[in-house]
Amino acid sequence: MRKKLFLVRHGQTLFNQKHKIQGWCDSPLTPKGVAESKAVGQYFRNRQITFDKACCSTLLRTEETLKHISDLPYTRYEGLKEFGFGRLEGASTDLILSFGHDLLNTSYTQFGGEDPQKVQDRMEKTLNDIVHEDDAKTILIVAHGANLMNLLERIDPDHAKDAIRFINCVIYEVDYDGKNFTIVDSIVSHLAQIKE
C-alpha cells in the first residue's frame, strides 16, 4: 500500500504578516498568501502531479490555500488543526521568543493551550486515518507550520531535522510504504518569484 503525500503549510495570513500568534484563531490569506498558494498549484501542474484526494484542517486559512492549489473536492479534518496556544492567541510572536522556549517542545497548557505530545498524537492519528480510509495513492494535505513540524518530528525524526521550517507554502513530500512514513524532500523553489 505505497502512497505519496504532499503536506503543505498554508499561505501567508494577516496574522503571519503582523507577527501575531495564530493557532486555533484564524485570519485570512494576504495577497502574498494567495500568490504563494497559486504558486504551489503551478508547481504541481508543472510536474504533472495530480491528486487522488485533498485534505485540509478545519481552519479557513488551509481551506483557502487548498482552493488555490487544486479544484478537487476536499475533506476538512479537525485533527489537522494548528497547535492551540490558549490565551497567547493573537499576541505578538515576540512573546513566545521571549520565553526562550523551543515552540515544538513547550507545553502551552499553562496558558490554556496544547501540549506538544498531544498535538503529535492527534496529528499522527489523523494522518493514519487519511492514508488508511481509502485507496487514494497521491494525497494533498494542507495544514499548519507548528503542527506539521510536530508531525514530521514524530513520523520521521531522522529526516525532520533537515526539513525547511515555518515557511508559508513549503511543500513536504512524504512516502508511505504501508508501515512507515519517510520525508523525501522539503520544497520552496516555487516561492522564489513571490513578492511581498
Annotated binding site for substrate: 9-16, 61
**Which residues, listed in sequence order, are joined to residue 20 by a DSSP beta bridge?**
92
Q: Is 108 helix (H, G, I), strand (E, B) or coil?
A: coil
Question: Is 82 among the catalytic positions?
Answer: yes
Calculate the CA 193 to chain-centre distance.
Answer: 21
* From 36, 64, 82, 114, the catalytic residue: 82
Residues 6+ apart with CB under 8 A from 195: 32, 35
Question: For the CA atoms of the chain, what is the radius of gyration?
Answer: 16
Cβ atoms of 147 and 11 closer than 8 Å: no
Question: Is 133 among the catalytic positions?
Answer: no
Cβ atoms of 40 and 69 closer than 8 Å: yes
Annotated binding site: 9-16, 61
Tell me the residue type at 137: K
C-alpha span between 67 and 71 (Å, rounded): 6
- The beta strands (E) that lie in 51-168 are given as 53-57, 74-77, 138-143
Tell me phi and psi for residue 28, to 5 degrees: -75, 160
* Catalytic residue positions, numbered: 10, 82
